[in-house]
């Protein structure tokens, strides 16, 4: 039974799903949606996902959007064990906590900063948005002060989600984590444990980074 994933490689949330699918060991059928070309607005895609976002999973007719929900579903349904998304209520609460932190604070503050610059023609840096993003990075750096992984003591989908976000930030502004050494260490730690990290995540992050750096260069 084919599992289709509508995605675009430069999108961080899409890459979190790619990393999760690989770690879970499930085969997904990749379907590229070029957002720049408006392919997400095609009627065929709107039928599947009226919210026209990527990533969008179609598991033989069962459609899931929201990258972190997709990651959770893949582990829940196809995982050989629950390591990546522990079933124990307390362990799971810690993973959920960090998934929502990524969604609502970490990646969100970054998106607030880059979307106007990359896609809405903003011609200056918004200092207050940059500050909020710095705060978010600082929080994450603090969380990592006394633990090796985002949630608990081993790799989970929280790390996969957060590393997709973090690597994208780093591609956008290289050395952004120079002030956040715990994040840097955590990135290296996770990379070494994630299969096909370069192809599944770094390539897409670099594509995003190139586009972002071009946009930044125009306004600086």
Partner 1 sequence: MALRVYYDLMSQPSRAIYLFLKVANIPFESCLVKLREGEHFQDEFTKVNPFRKVPVIDDNGFKLTESVAILRYLARSRNVEDNWYNADLQLQAKVDEYLQWQHLNTRLFCAMYFRHKFLEPMMLQKPVDEKKVARFQKEMEKCLSEIENIWLDSGKKNFITGDKISIADLLACCELEQPGMAGYDVFSKHPIIGAYRERVRKATEPHYEEAHKIVRIITNKFKGVPQANKL
Catalytic positions are: 11
Query: Should residue 208 be labelled a site residue for partner 1 when binding is judged by CB under 8 A?
Result: yes
- What's the CA gap between 194 and 49, in Å, rounded? 29
- Please, which residues have CB within 8 angstroms of residue 219's CB and are 6 or more apart in sequence? 117, 122, 123, 124, 125
How far lies 127's CA from each of 4, 52, 160, 169, 214, in Å?
40, 31, 29, 16, 19
Q: Does 36 bind partner 1 (CB under 8 A)?
A: yes
Sole window of 29-37, 70-78, 151-159, 185-193 interacting with partner 1 (rule: CB under 8 A): 29-37
Regarding 72 and contact with partner 1 (CB under 8 A), the answer is no
Binding test (CB under 8 A) with partner 1, winner from 93, 125, 203, 219: 203
User: Is position 204 an interface residue for partner 1 (rule: CB under 8 A)?
Assistant: yes
Is residue 115 a contact point for partner 1 (CB under 8 A)?
Answer: no
Judged by CB under 8 A, which of 154, 181, 199, 218 binds partner 1?
Answer: 199
> Which among 128-136, 173-181, 183-191, 196-204 is the span making contact with partner 1, rule CB under 8 A?
196-204
Measured CA to CA, the distance from residue 109 to residue 176 in angstroms comes to 14
Q: Return the structure tokens found at 58.
A: 């179609």
User: Which window, 100-108, 126-134, 159-167, 198-206, contacts partner 1 (CB under 8 A)?
Assistant: 198-206
**Smallest separation (angstroms) from partner 1 to the CB of 80:** 27
Q: Which is nearer to partner 1, 29 or 214 (CB)?
A: 214
Minimal distance, residue 180 CB to partner 1, in Å: 26
**Contact letters (x/-) for partner 1, 124-143, by CB under 8 A?**
--------------------
User: Does 207 sit near partner 1 (CB under 8 A)?
Assistant: yes
**Residue ranges that bind partner 1, judged by CB under 8 A:** 9-10, 32, 34, 36-37, 199, 203-204, 206-208, 210-211, 214
């Amino acid at each position: 039974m084919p599992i289709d994933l509508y995605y675009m490689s430069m999108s961080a949330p899409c890459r979190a799903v790619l990393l999760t699918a690989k770690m879970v060991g499930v085969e997904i059928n990749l379907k590229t949606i070029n957002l720049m070309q408006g392919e997400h607005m095609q009627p065929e895609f709107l039928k599947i996902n009226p919210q026209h976002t990527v990533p969008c999973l179609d598991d033989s007719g069962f459609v899931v959007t929201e990258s972190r929900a997709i990651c959770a579903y893949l582990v829940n349904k196809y995982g050989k064990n629950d390591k990546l998304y522990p079933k124990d209520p307390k362990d799971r609460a810690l993973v959920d906590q960090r998934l929502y932190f990524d969604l609502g604070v970490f990646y969100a503050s970054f998106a607030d900063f880059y979307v106007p610059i990359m896609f809405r023609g903003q011609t200056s840096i918004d200092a207050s948005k940059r500050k909020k993003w710095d705060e978010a990075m600082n929080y994450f750096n603090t969380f990592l002060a006394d633990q090796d992984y985002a949630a608990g003591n081993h790799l989970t989908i929280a790390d996969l989600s957060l590393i997709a976000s973090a690597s994208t930030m780093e591609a956008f502004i290289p050395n952004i984590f120079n002030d956040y050494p715990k994040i840097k260490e955590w990135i290296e730690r996770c990379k070494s444990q994630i299969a096909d990290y370069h192809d599944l995540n770094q390539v897409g992050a670099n594509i995003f980074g190139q586009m972002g750096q071009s946009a930044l260069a125009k306004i600086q």
